[in-house]
Amino acid sequence: MTQYAIYFHQQWVGDHPAEWFRSRVEPSTAVVRDMEAAGVLVFAGGLEEDLADAFSADATSGTLSITDGPYTETTEQLGGITVIDVPDLATAKMWAGRVAEGCGWPQEVRVIR
């Protein structure tokens, strides 16, 4: 079995009216329920969008520093992540497609090593 991270950047979601986002709740939660039923779900969740609530930890200087806000300013921020544990790449692609369809926006997938 191999774990895969299925994730998206908040900027990939696009601008939509509130009713569109409400219409994505059931399809996206249905995919998570299906993953749970199939025994492949490790974790799924969206991330806080307000970067003022983020903080970073950095020990690269040899001294630990905890600071408020994101570690670096960037044009994209991680919006959510799903971790699955599946037997093969084909299964990972199938679940990534289901997540993309359920959410209504693109997903990127990487092996967790």
Q: Is residue 39 a contact partner of residue 33, using CB atoms and an 8 Å limit? A: no
Token pair of 74, please? 């960037």
* Encoded amino acid at 54, one letter: A
Task: Please tell me the distance from the alpha carbon of residue 51 to that of residue 53, in angstroms, as a whole number.
Answer: 5
| Rounded (5°) CA angle 92-95-98 | 150
Cα distance between residue 107 and residue 36, in whole Å = 19
Count of CA atoms in the C-beta half-sphere (13 A) of 63 = 2
pTM (2 d.p.)? 0.90
DSSP code of residue 59: -
Please report, in tens digits, the pLDDT of each residue of the chain (113 residues total). Answer: 999 999 999 999 999 999 999 999 999 999 999 999 999 999 999 999 898 899 999 999 999 999 998 998 888 899 999 999 999 999 999 999 999 999 999 999 999 99
